Chain A
């Protein structure tokens, strides 16, 4: 890692709207890892809703906006596997027919990192946090399968004082969020999130963690509907010792 790299934080639209605490936790962690963090205020969303619903013209326009806005940073980091999957894996695909932009998108993609994997693979962070709870971790699909993130969150969590990590069955299976899928196919989505919740409850964990707000909102919404006592936090909140706020499902 270059000395004190300049990191542009891509907040992600769901963190911006629902859980600013995750954004501040990300800043705290990145600074602790020795980065200079900046948050360009002209950011909105990565464009995934348009991309996954077939509107590639708008998706390209938004992608260009993001690339331009963040291009000069040494690294671009977001507290989300899904959004980084978009920046890193899908932006280059969007420009397959546009040589100039494709080269740019590819060069950009190489510097994009999901927060937890950035903290382990690029920086060497020392976690100083305490969380005396039994937790279980849900692997978000994009983080796991587009970016190969599985060990990193577990490794960092094991450095949290007092924590007890218990893996659930099928932690790698989709929670049924799927962006607009959850409102287009509510019955199927409901079934998938119910299966997920059953696997969570089976571990008897007090807290569910994950690295993606989409999954977290979905699972939190279901747990809340069932009046479950399991609390939901984003992993960055635990790692940054910033869990002194109500849980996502409170």
Chain B
């Protein structure tokens, strides 16, 4: 996927003007927020659960090497294989070589953000495979040739009319002639087309929400059941996942599951929670004959113990996106890469560098709503600030801004000078009256007047 976080400002501007996007965002906003609120109000121990979840993750991260090795051992014991990938390229290469060795042609995929992170689809297509996304949202954006705009609702930026148009355009080859407009009809149409793909796939690729060290199981949660068809029908099941997803036991996993569904969709539990442990056993009626887990690092191990360590607790629930006023205004694509919203504004610069993605941690009012809803108690505003500090130190932020800041700080450290200067300035501003336009303050006056100061500064009045 092309990355364009550097163009955030431009992209945000376009997004604000896009009426389809705005109507889709308006529709989804209260939906997510209200449902989460209701689910959490119904669970008095929510905060206690958060504490426990945090402890589980912190414990695991402190012994990450141990639990990953344990996980690998158990996967092997159940007949599967674990592949370690330090970089996205290495992950893609290993996945392609598994698929090639199996002489595969068609690959079905469950929804997975890590696959987006490593740009797996384009790598598979380049290698000649027919790749089909099977999550409805992912399927829609695959047709639209767009990246996801939300980590749990990839097509949330699309209106129903746009989906109808897409199906009309792409499904004629499957015999769809009329334009569907009702949601159930659209869902049935997708189901109908996907069914044939499920049955003819050689490789099924899913992500994982959790990995369980003690049993070597991988866990996914879905609401459509497409994940189960992706991991049981094809000959080969490849789980693409990242190293921080491991937890020690099944019980730990269920604690996190209770937080995940409630924070994400406001459900107590998703429609399907699927545990995959190794390939088909002799007595099993179905399941893949090969089971592979590709464990991606992509910089995560270097975050351990760093100032961004807390981010490794993220369970990708999307609550921080749903509650972020900036995300709610501009949607996910403006962020220009895989992960949008507050969690993305922390992760993207870590993965693509501050030079490319330095806009993102700045594009936040630091209102703290993300931290307040994060089930894993990740201090997102603090992490956004940490990026800003790095950016300032590396002199990556615009010169004009740094200069203005320095000038202001110079005066703020000299109270007498500061008060003399501000007293003058404010008297002038008060004389000018209410401003619709002010030089150097265009950002403010474009959409707001500048309120008139009362006349004297407090300090000038106080001294009298």
Contacts and interface: CB of A to CB of B under 8 A. Distances in A.
Interface stretch (A120-128, A149-157, A174-182, A202-210): A174-182
Given A44-B412, A53-B388, A54-B393, A187 B365 contact: no
B451 A248 contact: yes
B451 A220 contact: yes
A179 B366 CA distance: 9
B170 interface: no
Interface string B434-459: 10100001111011111111101111
Contact of A222 (B368, B382, B448): B448
A186 interface: yes
Interface in B391-443: 391-393, 397, 401-402, 405-406, 408-409, 411-413, 415-416, 418-419, 422, 425-426, 434, 436, 441-443
Contact of A174 (B369, B411, B416, B425): B369
A58 B456 CA distance: 27
B372 interface: yes
Contacts of A62: 409, 412-413
B365 A222 contact: no
A20 B458 contact: yes
Interface string A188-204: 11111111000000000
Interface stretch (A35-43, A102-110, A129-137): A35-43
Interface size classification for chain A: 35 or more
B389 A191 contact: no
Contact of A173 (B12, B369, B392, B419): B369
A61 interface: yes
Does more than half of chain B's interface fall in helix, strand or loop, or is it mixed?
Answer: helix
B101 interface: no
Contact of A141 (B330, B365, B422, B425): B365
Contact of A186 (B389, B446, B459): B446
Interface stretch (A11-19, A111-119, A158-166): A11-19
Contacts of A176: 325, 365
Contact of B408 (A49, A61, A93, A141): A49
A74 interface: no
B454 A44 contact: no
A50 B365 contact: no
Contact of A221 (B362, B419, B451): B451
A47 interface: yes
A220 B409 CA distance: 27
Interface string B358-395: 00001111111101100000000010010011111100
A188 B389 contact: no
B448 A218 contact: yes
B174 interface: no
A188 B388 contact: no
Contacts of A24: 458, 461
Closest 6 CB pairs of A and B: A178-B365, A54-B392, A221-B448, A183-B443, A190-B447, A174-B367
20 contacts: A17-B458, A18-B453, A20-B461, A44-B415, A50-B405, A53-B392, A54-B392, A58-B412, A145-B371, A173-B367, A176-B365, A184-B401, A186-B444, A187-B16, A188-B330, A191-B16, A191-B329, A193-B447, A217-B451, A222-B448
